[in-house]
Structure 1
Amino acid sequence: MVEASGFDLSTFDPALVDLYRNDAGELTAIPFAVYPSVTFYNADLFDEAGLSYPPSEFGAPYVMPDGTEVPWNYDTVAEIAKILTVDANGNDATMDGFDPTAIEQFGLNFQWARVRLIWSYLQPASFYDAAANTITLPEEWHQATQWYWDRVWVDHTVPNSTYAASDLLQPSGFASGNLAMSIVPLWYTCCLDNSVGNFNWSIAPVPASFDGEQHVAMDADTFRLVKNANRSEEATAAAFTALSYLLTDAAATLGSAYGAFPALPAAQPVWFDSISARYPGEIDWTVAVDSLAYANPRPAPSRVERSQLHANVRA
């Protein structure tokens, strides 16, 4: 239908179009609402710790307290998360007297299981040998899983399940004001109204994964026409015309109504105006646009599987 109707896909970032392709390369939908994962950070907690903010551009370095520039990756995040994790006595996680049983501020969290970002992103065909019925996981996956375990149980900079469910991190981790960095999709802007007047925050790109590349997990919504529906050609054409309207002319209005970031560039200014009025602080919303080019290709493993891994590490 896209080709037959002459629908112009060139207005979308190519990475977003690929996001909607299946393993055979077939387009299953047209981009509509997208939610790139970003690093939400509490600017007040960074200021209190005397730390530089995370970089606002992909590929830009992070400036450490001693002035050295280092890559914005998960090793760097691990180091600054220690400084940003503080116990009831005011000791941070770099200090000998730090008490992991009395933490009052955490450095990092992966809300809603975006922990897969620390891995490289590979399709199942990349590591599954169907003939031998064996799976060989990349070395960076082993490194990343160990990295996550160490943050929870060695450094104590990521809350375990007990802390995550405690009053300290309610109504949700980052929204509590007691979490310095959270890697979570952009739709989390739904849930930060309590921050206004209480703490300042902004967003930054996600850190580079353990393969050295940038991978942005992308939640996405769209509308679809069911292929095997019992429709005439005329009805299908009419339905696609209506669908095209929703994805183009109505995208800005629907995006605001749904609280969704439009994939269509022409519809994004309305979202920026709306979100800036809701959160009037100095928030770098251009990070959302820049993140689209780094969207992970094709669907991710099931959320149930990823969430279970997330829970297993933190339990």
Structure 2
Amino acid sequence: MKTRVVYGFAALMILLSSTACGQTEPAPDNQASAPKTPEPVVLTVYQQAEISDEDFQLLFVEPVKKKYPYIDLKLVRLDKGVTLDNLVISGEVPDILTPPHSGVLELSQKDILFDIAPLVKQANLDLNRFDPVTIDAVRSDKGELWALPYAMQFNALYYNKDLFDKFGVEYPKDGMTWDEAIELGKKMIRNEGGIQYRGLDPVSSYILSFPFSLTYVDAKTNKASFNNEQWKKVLELTQSILTIPGNELKSTEPGAATQGNLFIKEKNVAMLASTNLMAQIGSAASGINWDIAQYPSYKEKPNISGKLDTHNLAISKTSKHKEEAVKVLEVVTSDEVQLLSARKTARMSPLKNPEMQKQFGAEVPYLQGKNIQAIFKSTVSPGPIYSPFEVDGKKIAQAKVRELLAGNVDINTALRQADEEINKMLETKK
């Protein structure tokens, strides 16, 4: 009996030993614990805010590829045959959209966007890093988060140093009011050698309205919002500048890019008060000796240069790759990429990090020696809520401003008639 027990015990020990060995040495083909490589994904990005191919590579493609090698980005540019409406109709809505602040509401009302707050939370994106006003601007009144800002627009007073030197007038200074800028501009108006030199170009009443956060259409009522005292003040300023003898514009309300070209090519404008035209004016081809001063202020709005105008990243509701898309938002709004953007492309960051201001334009050759900190001496008014019909209202109002500057109507008539025409348009749209 003892012999059998010993043999039985020995056999049991051998069996247990072999079983234990089998547990510590998995079969060579057992790959269950190895991390799975994500499938390659191509995300389309629809260009709404202006961006060059080079900057898209620098700020989007390369940093995203570095952190997430399986994500590729393809830029879809706005073109005659390529509009967002066409893409929606064809069922090819891009994964990521880049609307300005004024276009976010329209996209949400077209049911193209969705609340990305859960995805942002899942990705551990800290919204406290952003200037609160930029986040508030992309939230709905219900608290839904439609997008994340990645750049901000800014205004500046550009001036031609050669013209000021030529006429022996002191350069513009930071902190000027519009009255002071107008008086300085008058000193530069003259006709010499058959060339008419203009002292001050404010571009348009539209840009002059920014500090008051005005709209042409009330987003809540969808009725005209042009005929009021604030718009009247804006038109009075526009008229006071653009009807000074010798300072008139042949084509009024033309837009910042057009006026930037005139400032650069014709070189007969002493000061241009406009949005961010640094890349356009600073290019090697421009050949203009320029600098900037702080954008002029209304007396009742000291150091307010404009309204909040952000460039944003939104994810389309129909995207099949929402989790990958939010990774793109994470990378582009990271401190690393935002600092790269500020240093290399002179884009104003929506982040609160003070380094973004300190290092702004540090690697942009044409900004060296310029009074760059002038743009940070002003703040912006909150971004208004825009109606989907804002652009239509703007066209009507600006046409009426052209009549005003041509002397065909007075300010009160222009405001009243524009409101009437906008309301008629809105009735038709409804």
Q: Same fold (TM over 0.5)?
A: yes
Residues 294 and 254 of structure 1, relative CA distance in 2, 3 Å threshold: closer
Among residues 202, 209, 223, which one is paired with 2:291 in the alignment?
Answer: 202
- The 8 Å contact of residues 154 and 305 in structure 2, kept in 1 or not, is answered as no
Q: Does 1:43 align with 2:146?
A: no
Among residues 318, 323, 338, which one is paired with 1:251 in the alignment?
Answer: 338
Residues 279 and 128 of structure 1, relative CA distance in 2, 3 Å threshold: closer
Which residues of structure 1 form unaligned runs of 5+? 61-71, 90-101
Q: Does 1:183 align with 2:273?
A: yes
> Partner amino acid for 1:283?
K
Tell me which residue corresponds to 2:130: 12
TM-superposed CA distance for 1:182, in Å, is: 0.8
Tell me which residue corresponds to 1:97: none
- Mapping for residues 1-315 of structure 1, pairs under 5 Å: 1=117, 2-22=120-140, 26-56=144-174, 60=175, 72-88=176-192, 104-111=196-203, 114-117=206-209, 120-122=212-214, 130=221, 135=225, 137-161=227-251, 171-174=261-264, 176-193=266-283, 198-199=288-289, 201-209=290-298, 211-213=300-302, 214-217=304-307, 219-226=309-316, 228-229=317-318, 231=320, 235-248=321-334, 249-253=336-340, 260-264=347-351, 265=353, 266=355, 271-275=360-364, 277-280=365-368, 282-291=369-378, 293-298=379-384, 301-302=390-391, 304=395, 308=399, 311-313=402-404
Residues 134 and 223 of structure 1, relative CA distance in 2, 3 Å threshold: closer
TM-superposed CA distance for 1:245, in Å, is: 0.8
> Partner amino acid for 1:79?
E
TM-superposed CA distance for 1:177, in Å, is: 2.5
TM-superposed CA distance for 1:43, in Å, is: 2.8
- The 8 Å contact of residues 210 and 306 in structure 2, kept in 1 or not, is answered as no
Distance between the aligned counterparts of 1:287 and 1:148, measured in 2? 23
Tell me which residue corresponds to 2:109: none
Residues 20 and 116 of structure 1, relative CA distance in 2, 3 Å threshold: farther
Percent identity (aligned): 18
TM-superposed CA distance for 1:217, in Å, is: 4.1
Tell me which residue corresponds to 2:101: none
- The 8 Å contact of residues 34 and 263 in structure 1, kept in 2 or not, is answered as yes
Tell me which residue corresponds to 2:86: none
Distance between the aligned counterparts of 1:170 and 1:208, measured in 2? 21
> Partner amino acid for 2:160?
N
> Partner amino acid for 1:73?
T
Tell me the matched-pair count: 275
Which residues of structure 2 form unaligned runs of 5+? 1-116, 407-430
TM-superposed CA distance for 1:46, in Å, is: 3.1
Distance between the aligned counterparts of 1:119 and 1:245, measured in 2? 32
> Partner amino acid for 1:285?
I
Distance between the aligned counterparts of 2:361 and 2:344, measured in 1? 13
Distance between the aligned counterparts of 1:210 and 1:174, measured in 2? 30
> Partner amino acid for 2:338?
A
TM-superposed CA distance for 1:225, in Å, is: 0.9
Tell me which residue corresponds to 2:24: none
The higher-RCO structure (CA 8 Å, 6+ apart) is 1
> Partner amino acid for 2:185?
A
